[in-house]
Amino acid sequence: MVNCCGLVTVKKEPVPLKSIAVEVSVQGHVATVSSTLQYENQEESPLEAIFVFPLPGEAAVCRFSAKIGQSEVVAEVQEKQKAQEQYEDALSSGLQAFLLEESDESPDVFKLSVGSLPPGEKASVSLDYVTELAVQADDGLRLCLPAVLNPRYQPQGSGIGSGSSALVSSVPAGSVPYSLSLSARVSSPHPISRVESNCPLDPLNYLNTEKTQAMVSLAAGHQFDRDVELLLYYQDTHQPTAIVEAAQTSAKPGSLMGDPMVMLSMYPEFPKDVMSLMTSHGEFLFVMDRSGSMSCPMHNGSGAQDRIGSARDTLLLLLKSLPMGCYFNIIGFGSRYKSFFPKSVEYSQKTMNEALQKVKAMRADLGGTEILQPLKHIYSQPCLPDQPRQLFLFTDGEVRNTKEVLDLVKANASSHRCFSFGIGEGASSALISGVAKQGGGHAQFITGQDRMQPKVMQSLRFALQPAVVDISVKWNVPKGVSVTTLSPPIRMLFQGQRALLYAQITGEVGALSGDTEGSVTVEYSLAEQPKQHCFYCLQCAGLEKVVELSVQSGVSSAFTAFIAVHKVDGKAVQGPMLCRQVPTPSFDCPAPASNPAMDPLLQLISLQKASGSWVLEAALAEVLGKTEEEVAKPKPAPVDQEVWATVLALVWLYGFKMEDQEEWQFLAMKAVSWIQAQKGTISWLGSTVLLK
C-alpha cells in the first residue's frame, strides 16, 4: 500500500515535485526565463518522476541542469534517440539521469524525466529558455507562462499517440500539489510605463530614475487556475531599436557564440492618412472551431459567455465590416467540417443575410478538433483572380498534429495569408503563433476577461489596410567589421505588428566601442511611398548575456534532447524503481452562464445593411432609446429616410460607444462612404440635438 502522506496525485501516489521557482529577465522585446523545479523522494524506493508540461510555442530551451546535494550536472544536447538510449542505459545501471525532450507532435509540449532518485534524496532541476514577446492590440508586450496543458485532440487514423502528450497526468486547476513563485526583471531602451497581469502582482519596483529597469513579482498563493500572463508597456514603443549583445568569452572567435549579436526591433506606426486607406478586394475565409470544447465558457468568472457564443457575435461583426466587392465564406470544423457555401460568394445584402442566418444556428456540435482536413480542402480550391485569399482561423487550439498543420500552412503561404486566434486557457501557442508566422499573418490570444471582438477587428484592419513592404536593412559599420543577418527576410509588416531581426557581428568588433558606433538604416515602402529610418546604437559595451541560438550553444529541437547522467558517490542506486507522473493543471469546463440579451451595440450592428446604411425602423429607434415617431419627426423634409437613419446610427456610435471604436470603425467607414455617395448634403446638427 502506498504511503499517502505529503503531496499526492489523483491516484493517491506521492508527488515528488514540490515547487517551481521562475526568474524572468526581459530585455526589450525578448525574455529569458529560468525555471527551477525542486524534487524530493519521500518514498522508500527509488523513483522516476515524469513531468509533461507546456512552454511557449516559440521558446528556445538553451540550458538544462540538475543539482543533487552539492553536485551540479549540466546537460548536453544530443540527437533525441541517442539521448533516450543513454537515459535508459543509465537507469538500468542504477545511475541518476535527467532527460528533457520536446514532443514529436507539438513544439510547445515538453517531457522532463528524473530517473533513479534515491529514497530521501532531493534534486533541483533547472531549465532556461528564450522567447520573443508578442505585441498586443494596445501596444503591450505579452509574456505567457503556460500553466494549463489541455488534452490534445488526436485525429482518427493519424497514428499519433506514442509521444509525450500521451503521458499527460492532470488534476483540476487550483488542486495542483506544488507551488509557483515568479519574479521578473524588466530592462528596456525606453521607460517602462507599467506592468499588468491576469494574476495578482506585488507592486512594481523601479530600479533607476530613468524607469528603464524594474522588478515585479507574482503575489504568493497562485492557484494554477490559469496561464500566467505579464503585459509590459513601454514609452516610445514605436521607435525602432537595436540591442547588441557581447560574445561569450569562453566561445571560439568566429563561432556563433564567439561574436557579438544584434537584435533589431521594428514596430512601425502608420500615419492617419494611411490608416484610412481600405482595400475593397480580397477573399476572406473565416475558419471557425465548432468542436465540443467551444461550448466551454470564455473564462471562470461569473456571467461568462460560452466560446461559441462569442464566436457568433464576432462573425456578426466581421460580416458587417467587410467591404463591398470582396468574396467570403465561413467554414466550421470539428472532427468533420462544413462550409456555409460550396465556394466563396461575392459579398452582398443577399449573401450576408444568408450567412447571418447560418451564424445564428451555429453550435459547438462537430465533435473533436481536426484542423488539418478543412485546411487541405481550402488549399485545394483555386484562388480567385485579383482577390487575395486571407484566412481567419479561430480555435481553442487543442490538437496533437500541430507540426503537420504548420507544414501545410507554410507550403501554401505564397497564396494564402493566415490570421489566427487562440480562444481560452490552454490554447496551443505553438499552433496559434505558428499558423500566423508561417502564413504571413498575425496571432491573437483571447484569455481571461478578454473580449474576442476588438482583437479580431485589429486583425481585419491588418487584412484591409496597406502593409509595409519592400523592407531592406543596411548595416553601416566601421572598416574591418561585417554583419551577417541570421533571420529570414521580413516580407511585410502591418500596423500594430512588430518584427525582430537578428544578426551576427564579425571581424574587428573592438572598433564598435568607445566613441565609435555603427548604425543601421531600414528602408521600406508604405502605401507606395518610400520611407527610411536611420539610428545609431551599435556599440559593444555594457551588454547582456548572449541568447544561445543553436545546438552549438545548447538549444533543443524536435530532433534533439538534453541528457544529464549523475553517478551517486560512485555507487549504483539500489532497489526497484517506481514511476510517478507529476500532474499539470487542467481547465474545467463548467456550464456557461445563460446568454444575456444582445448588447445594444451588437443590436445596432445587426441592423446595418451590407452597403453600410441603416433603415429608419422601430428596431433602430429602440436601440437609440426613442420611439419610431421621435426618431422620424426631426428629419428635414429633403433628406432621404435611409440617409437620416444612417446619420443617427453614426451619431449614436460616436456619442455613446467611442470606447468600442475599434470594433465598429470599419462599418462606420462604410456608412460614411455610403452617405457621401448619395445626392445632396445634410446637417448632422438636428440628429445630434435629438440624441442629447
Tell me if 55 is assigned to some domain.
yes
* Of the residues 464, 495, 525, the one at which a domain ends: 464
In the beta sheet, which residues pair with residue 241?
265
Residues contacting 47, CB < 8 A, separation 6+: 16, 41, 114, 116, 117, 577, 578, 579, 580
Are 89 and 29 in the same domain?
A: yes
Tell me if 691 is assigned to some domain.
no
pLDDT, one tens digit per residue, over 322-381 is 999 899 999 999 999 999 999 999 999 999 999 999 999 999 999 888 999 999 999 999
pLDDT, one tens digit per residue, over 86-140 is 999 988 888 888 898 888 777 788 888 888 888 888 888 898 999 988 888 788 9
Of the candidates 472, 469, 474, 473, the one whose C-alpha atom is nearest the C-alpha of residue 492 is: 469
Q: What percent of the chain has pLDDT over 70?
A: 81
pLDDT, one tens digit per residue, over 627-658 is 989 999 888 888 889 999 999 999 999 999 99
Are 390 and 493 in the same domain?
A: no
pLDDT score, position 544: 45
Q: Which of 97-106, 183-192, 422-431 has the highest mean pLDDT?
A: 183-192
Of the candidates 261, 260, 263, the one whose C-alpha atom is nearest the C-alpha of residue 242 is: 263
pLDDT score, position 651: 94
pLDDT of 209 > 80? The answer is yes
* Of the residues 446, 464, 482, the one at which a domain ends: 464
pLDDT, one tens digit per residue, over 35-46 is 998 888 888 888
User: What residue has cell string 510605463?
Assistant: 193
User: What residue has cell string 532497489?
Assistant: 575
Tell me the pLDDT band of 591, cut-offs 50, 70 and 90: low
Grid cell for residue 166: 500521451
Q: Which range has the worst mean pLDDT, 28-37, 158-167, 404-413?
A: 158-167
Tell me the pLDDT band of 402, cut-offs 50, 70 and 90: confident
Q: What percent of the chain has pLDDT over 90?
A: 33
Tell me if 122 is assigned to some domain.
yes
Are 211 and 294 in the same domain?
A: no
Q: Which range has the worst mean pLDDT, 174-188, 443-457, 536-550, 672-686?
A: 536-550
pLDDT score, position 45: 84
Are 438 and 507 in the same domain?
A: no
Look up the CATH number of the domain holding residue 132. Answer: 2.60.40.1730
Domain that holds residue 529: 261-273+468-536
pLDDT, one tens digit per residue, over 464-484 is 888 788 888 888 888 888 888
Tell me the pLDDT band of 517, cut-offs 50, 70 and 90: low
pLDDT of 237 > 80? The answer is yes
pLDDT score, position 509: 65
* Of the residues 419, 445, 464, the one at which a domain ends: 464
pLDDT of 7 > 50? The answer is no
Are 344 and 454 in the same domain?
A: yes
Write down the H helix ranges in 299-451. 307-321, 349-360, 372-380, 402-411, 429-438
pLDDT, greater one: 198 or 529: 198
Are 560 and 669 in the same domain?
A: no
Grid cell for residue 579: 514511476
Are 61 and 199 in the same domain?
A: yes
Tell me the one-letter amino acid at 402: T
pLDDT, greater one: 256 or 662: 662
Q: Which range has the worst mean pLDDT, 149-158, 518-527, 597-606?
A: 149-158
Are 23 and 139 in the same domain?
A: yes
pLDDT of 457 > 80? The answer is yes
pLDDT of 502 > 50? The answer is yes
pLDDT score, position 692: 41
pLDDT score, position 596: 64
pLDDT of 305 > 50? The answer is yes
Are 458 and 475 in the same domain?
A: no
pLDDT of 261 > 80? The answer is yes
pLDDT score, position 576: 58
Strand ranges inside 55-104, DSSP E: 60-68, 71-74, 76-79, 96-102
Q: How far apart are CA 623 and CA 653, in angstroms?
A: 11
What single string gives the DSSP state of each residue in 156-176?
Answer: TT----SSGGGG--EEETT--
Are 644 and 520 in the same domain?
A: no
Q: Which of 51-65, 214-228, 357-371, 395-409 has the highest mean pLDDT?
A: 357-371
pLDDT score, position 570: 54
Tell me if 11 is assigned to some domain.
yes
Q: How far apart are CA 448 and CA 198, in angstroms?
A: 7
Element spanning 648, H or E = helix 641-656
Question: Residue 246: how many CA atoms within 13 Å on its side-chain side?
Answer: 11
Chain mean pLDDT for the chain: 81
Tell me if 307 is assigned to some domain.
yes
Tell me if 692 is assigned to some domain.
no
> Taking residues 3-20, what's their average pLDDT?
57
pLDDT of 430 > 90? The answer is no
Number of domains in the chain: 4
Tell me if 58 is assigned to some domain.
yes
pLDDT score, position 1: 30
pLDDT, one tens digit per residue, over 532-587 is 766 545 544 333 433 333 344 456 566 778 888 876 565 666 555 567 676 666 66
> Taking residues 166-193, what's their average pLDDT?
78
Are 147 and 50 in the same domain?
A: yes
Tell me if 136 is assigned to some domain.
yes
pTM for this one?
Answer: 0.74
Are 52 and 197 in the same domain?
A: yes
